[in-house]
Structure 1
Amino acid sequence: MGADCNLRGPIPDSLARLPKLQNLDLTNNRLTGSIPPSFTRFTSIVQIELYNNSLTGALPQGFSNLTTLRPFDASVNDLIGTIPDELCGLDLESLNLFENRIQGSLPESIASSPNLYELKLFNNQMNRTLPARLGLNSPLMRLDVSYNGFSGGIPPNLSAKGLLDDLILIHNSFSGNIPEHLEKCRSLGRVRLRNNRLSGPLPDDMWGLPGMYLLELDGNSLTGQISRKVSSAFNLSLLLMSRN
């Protein structure tokens, strides 16, 4: 309901009084003001889509009440503050908050979701490290946290399920080695790691990924040799390795 309707003004609190509402889609409007705290009192909500509006303020507290919520998207707004731990503690399938002004760290609880396949937080002001267990318990397919201030190592379990097809971490301060187990992800198409502080050798088996068509490693401190297995990456159309 409500997508692409040229809606303006604040979101009314009264929406939360709809006991059977499952899908709230307000994308591509001109809504202003904050996300109502009453949103955390939805009783049947499964999906909340607030993409591309002019919403401000912080994400409300109390998301632990929304036990049926699966996708949550409030991207392309002007949200501030941090991501509530209660939101990340839900059994989310998709969490998209890109292109806001969100700060702070990504709560560790996001790594416990058994259903999370998509996490997009790019173009924010987030920092600290990503949860070390991210990807260990989730069927993670798409991860994009580019243009933030994340640091520390790339979580070693991102490829634990072997389903990753998009890994985009550009313009952060990630350090350490590239995880060695990316070769499990046979459908991995884009690996974008440029402009970080990564070091060490390139994982030898990474070159054998048949689906990889874009590999950006420039602007790091990587060392070593390019493996002969590069010839196995027959779909590779862009390879950037300068400034290493």
Structure 2
Amino acid sequence: MGRKLKHFPILLLLLLSCYLAAAARIRSPSDAGAIADLARSLSRPPSTWTAAGGGDVCSFKGITCSDVGRVTAIDLAGEGLAGTLPSSLSNLTNLVSLQLHGNALTGAIPPLRLSSLTDLSLEGNSFTSLPVDFPRGTPALRSLTMDNLPLPPWPFPAAIFECPYLRTFSASNTSLTGAFPAAGIVSNLKSIATLRLAHNNLTGVIPEVLGQIVSLGEISLSYNHFQGPVPVFHISVAVDDMVAGNGFCLDKPGQPCDSQVSALLEVAGGFGYPVNLSRSWTGNDPCNGWVGVECDISEVAILGLTSYNLSGIISPAIADLTGLTTLNLANNHLTGEIPDGLAGLPKLTLVDVRNNRLTGKLPKFKESVDVLVDGNDPSLRSQHGQGSLTGGSSSSKSSSAGTILGIVLGVLVFCKDN
């Protein structure tokens, strides 16, 4: 009897452990509730699921749980699912993998604040919107695939730079639009191995440094609006036909552009590489139909981009267009200062930057240059240097001269009559 009592505490401890393990398996109502919400939001949930959330969710098809009953993976790829995703998915705080590709899911992708999530697969569905800060809240993310989604135009997601372990980002044919942040990719995604962004509306010049990412093994950038030289990648990197569908100046990787093309592309970079310029400013001859550009023989003489909805700054590279006679950037949203180098252009006769948001000190233009600055920050006018500073029209100088001549003639006539 004493021997049995001696082992009783051990048996009690084992029973208590079993009880605690069993209790732990069912003590996450937030996980069960999230899966129940997902079941209700699907028009055709898997047959083993119950919309009411009854039973053990860890036994549902496509659900994987940890030893303590927390949902760690959802794999519903290619299940023919329709419906939407509930916002309560963010309650699955132990979720590591969410595989939803190859279905017909619609609506908005909800915010996924899941610090443990490493794999997210959304491609081939019919989602129509993303959170504005997507994919913020997923710092452990290693793979994000979301190709072929019918999204409205959206910018490259800056929040992805908060995912330092990311190795795969695949978002081809998703309406990505705007400047391609190559510098941010190089600086923040040091583990990136696969980058697929083909068939979008990305713009800009791809810097050489992108091809120097050691971890990179595959890249796809065809059918966007890239300009400048074709980038060079290491022989070990699988590269798609990058020239196809883009506007590089030449077809050979690494071959530099014409100097005027390079200068104009830097100017476009100051504006954030807008799509309306990227679609037109292609090839290696700016005198061959580039919008807003007029040439004198083979030299860029006029840059006229009035009312083009431009934002950003006037790049100092504008001073590299040594044959420029006219610069017209009126009625845009430009900020910053007018580059000093602009005043040194030998053939310049007109600078029209009316109705922008420019500030700072006006460069010291020559007297022969008409400078129109109305509609900018008042400081621009009050700090002007030399040059012919006019308001609404370049004809104001001739009007003033005519007024003075009229006064002189009137005085002479008056003196003669008396």
How far does the alpha carbon of each residue in 1:113-153 deviate from its partner, in whole angstroms, 9 at most, with x for none?
22111110011112311212423432111111112212112
Give the superposition deviation at 1:210: 4.8
Structure 1: which amino acid aligns with 2:79? N
TM-score, normalisation: structure 1: 0.71
Q: Write out aligned runs for 1:30-179 (5 A).
A: 44-85=70-111, 87=112, 89-91=113-115, 92-105=117-130, 107-126=132-151, 127-156=153-182, 157-159=184-186, 160-178=188-206
How far does the alpha carbon of each residue in 1:126-181 deviate from its partner, in whole angstroms, 9 at most, with x for none?
23112124234321111111122121123443342421111111111111233554
Return 54-63 or 178-187, whichever deviates more.
Answer: 178-187
How far does the alpha carbon of each residue in 1:4-44 deviate from its partner, in whole angstroms, 9 at most, with x for none?
xxx9647323567537x399627xxxxxxxxxxxxxxxx71
Residues 227, 109 of structure 1: alpha-carbon distance in 2 compared, 3 angstrom cutoff: closer
Structure 2: which amino acid aligns with 1:46? T
Gaps (5+ residues) in structure 1? 1-6, 27-42, 229-242
* Contact 1:134–1:158 (CA under 8 A) maintained in structure 2: no
Q: Within 1, Cα distance between the matches of 2:143 and 2:79? A: 21
Structure 1: which amino acid aligns with 2:253? I
Identity of aligned residues (%): 25
Counterpart in the other structure of 1:187: 215
Give the superposition deviation at 1:185: 2.5
Which has the bigger relative contact order, CA under 8 A and spacing at least 6? 1
Q: Which has the larger radius of gyration?
A: 2
Structure 2: which amino acid aligns with 1:11? W
SS at match of 1:134: helix
More helix by share: 2
Residues 119, 16 of structure 1: alpha-carbon distance in 2 compared, 3 angstrom cutoff: farther
Counterpart in the other structure of 1:231: none
Residues 175, 13 of structure 1: alpha-carbon distance in 2 compared, 3 angstrom cutoff: same
Gaps (5+ residues) in structure 2? 1-44, 64-68, 256-281, 284-418
Counterpart in the other structure of 2:8: none
More strand by share: 1
SS at match of 1:108: coil
Give the number of aligned pairs. 202
Q: Within 2, Cα distance between the matches of 1:194 and 1:120? A: 17
Residues 212, 44 of structure 1: alpha-carbon distance in 2 compared, 3 angstrom cutoff: same
Counterpart in the other structure of 1:226: 253
Return 133-142 or 175-184, whichever deviates more.
Answer: 175-184
